[in-house]
Amino acid sequence: MSIPLSKAERQFRLSAWVTLVVIYLVILAGGIVRATGSGMGCPDWPRCFGRMIPPTDVSQLPPDYQTRYHVQGKPIEVFNAAKTWTEYVNRLVGVLSGMATFVMLIFAVRIWKEHKSALLWSFITFVLLALQGFLGAKVVSTNLDVNMITWHMLLALLIVFIMIINIGWKTAPKGSYQFITKRGLMLLPILSLVALLLMLVQIVIGTEVREAIDKVALSHDYQERGAWIAETGTVFLIHRSFSILVTLVNIVTIIFIYRETRQMGSLYLSCSVIYFLMGIEVSAGIVMAYLDFPAFAQPIHLWLASIWAGVNFFVFLVLFKQFYELKRAKVAAPSEQRTVLS
């Protein structure tokens, strides 16, 4: 049985969950920014056109604004209020994530004597979010350099993983390894790690597809969406084919989890979430491939992929913790008969 959480621990867990949700909102907002081509909606950072609150009409800007707010010596595009405010809202959500992380850090200080790791991971999250803000500024100053965008995305996933570690320090009751077969304790952490790594590779390939789409879209002046995919080359075909491998490995991993474990609620719930995400992701991919790459599907596709990767990491974390706990306890897990929770 798990030990009930104290009030301070419950407050920390709540603040950590809120922080994780806000970070995922940042990822969603970033996906919307890129799908709508709003990355340079605010050509300067941290202000937007030199203002704390961006303009809503070009009449609010000086006549020479295109050269005054140049990027890398090049004049910016004609002012577009929709793109400016899309980027600005993205920045506001980023600020909100920083505030949520700071609150989480305060609550972590209150429980540091009992859970020093909570304070450590909270502090690391806070530092990485500051680094994420710096990378966001570099993305703007480099005029949306594709490598910077990729690193920006990967760092966001790293922050998600650290947050999952921070939340998961009391996920499974002590001794939960008794509900996993001996074969499962050896095999499942490896399978879940492979599923996670393949998902990360797929996300990186997805960023390459996004880069190719950006170039094609620009060449068509963001018109004729039906022709975009055909002109992306082999990278889209690789991304589509690799998704089959990712899906199959996840299905195999889930089947083995059901076969080799018993009564592990959070693990089973995670498997159900993965099944759900696989269905939605495949549907979003089909929509983009056969319905002329609609803009609304792009950020959803990226956002769900990041959630899927987070759930994969949680599954790996739970299974690895059980394997590690068994090794520390030096107890042989049952291979045929499983203990039943009281």
- At 172-192, the pLDDT tens digits run 556 566 778 888 888 999 999
Q: What is the pLDDT of residues 133-166, one digit of tens each?
A: 888 878 777 766 777 878 888 899 999 999 999 9
pTM of structure? 0.84
Considering 121, 155, 170, which residue would you say is the last residue of a domain? 170
Domain of residue 273, residue span = 172-342
Does 43 have pLDDT greater than 80?
Answer: yes
Angle at 24 between CA 317 and CA 13, to 5 degrees: 55
Distance CA(252)–CA(237), nearest Å, equals: 23
Are 132 and 257 within one domain? no
For 39, other C-beta atoms within 10 Å of its C-beta total 19
For the chain, the first-to-last Cα distance in angstroms comes to: 9
Q: What is the pLDDT of residue 70?
A: 82
Beta strands in 31-91 (DSSP E): none
> At which of 150, 170, 190 does a domain end?
170
Measure the CA–CA gap between 138 and 203, rounded to whole angstroms.
21
- Can you tell me the distance from the alpha carbon of 110 to that of 107, in angstroms, rounded to the nearest whole number? 5
| Contact criterion met (CB below 8 Å) for 228 and 217 | yes
Total number of domains constituting the chain: 2
End position of a domain, from candidates 170, 191, 225: 170
Q: What angle in degrees, to the nearest 10, is found between the helix axes of 116-141 and 146-167?
A: 170
Supply 179's token pair.
């509900």
**Rounded Cα distance, 264 and 195, in Å:** 19
Residues 259 and 136 both lie in one domain: no
pLDDT at 93 over 90: yes
Whether 50 and 181 map to the same domain: the answer is: no
pLDDT score at 338: 43
Residues 285 and 140 in one domain: no
- C-alpha–C-alpha distance, residues 296 and 209, integer Å: 16
Q: Are residues 283 and 220 in the same domain?
A: yes
